[in-house]
């Protein structure tokens, strides 16, 4: 039995099928601490509270963005559209350990320097409320909504779905762990 399988392979298979059928909308998460910027493609995210408005994002511990995000107080969630595959490729396959993704896309500094992707008019800017590590390969960032920006009427579009990017090779394997000294 592999480390990524439960004792009941049938449960794992059924869970995987259910999640594939959900076909999550994809987001790009961006963060900054001082002069260091980072961002990644994320498929695990949702509204976490109505009052106050909160949003949750689950971030892989294998990611360069994880190292920056656990230090950041502010981060941005960019809701990708079906036409944003190029951004998904950049934020999903390149690793910030090797490249500066923000040298390759137009962006504007938002609150606390968080990078706001100019090509993504649908976004939230969040202030970290909590970080939850339940012991899995992801941590959950829960943020209070500082800004919410919706698409202009002339730029509607269907969300970019997991099924449209499931062929991408991530910059890091999901089972990799970052080793933080702090």
Residue-level pLDDT, tens digit, the chain, 182 residues: 345 656 788 898 898 888 888 888 999 999 999 999 999 999 999 999 999 999 999 999 998 999 999 999 999 999 999 999 999 999 999 887 788 999 999 999 999 999 999 999 899 999 999 999 999 999 999 999 999 998 665 555 789 888 889 888 876 565 555 445 44
Place of tokens 């990017």: 165
For residue 142, list its beta bridge partners.
56, 130
pTM confidence score: 0.85
Annotated domain spans of the chain: 9-164
Measured CA distances, 137 to 49, 133, 160, 174 (Å): 23, 9, 24, 7
Q: Specify the CATH number for 9-164; select among 3.40.50.300, 3.40.50.20, 2.30.110.10, 1.10.3720.10.
A: 2.30.110.10
């Amino acid at each position: 039995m592999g480390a990524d399988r439960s004792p009941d392979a049938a449960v794992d298979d059924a869970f995987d099928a259910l999640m594939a059928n959900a076909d999550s909308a994809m987001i790009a998460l961006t963060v900054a601490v001082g002069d260091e910027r980072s961002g990644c493609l994320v498929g695990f995210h949702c509204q976490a509270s109505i009052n106050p408005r909160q949003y949750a994002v689950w971030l892989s511990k294998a990611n360069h963005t994880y190292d920056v995000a656990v230090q950041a107080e502010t981060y941005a969630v960019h809701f990708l559209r079906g036409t944003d595959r190029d951004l998904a490729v950049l934020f999903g396959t390149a690793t910030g350990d090797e490249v500066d993704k923000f040298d390759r896309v137009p962006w504007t500094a938002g609150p606390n320097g968080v990078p706001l992707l100019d090509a993504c008019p649908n976004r939230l800017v969040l202030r970290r409320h909590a970080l939850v590590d339940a012991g899995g390969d992801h941590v959950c960032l829960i943020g209070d909504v500082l800004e919410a920006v919706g698409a202009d009427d002339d730029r509607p579009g269907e969300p970019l779905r997991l099924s449209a990017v499931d062929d991408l090779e991530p910059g890091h394997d999901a089972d990799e762990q970052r080793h933080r000294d702090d």
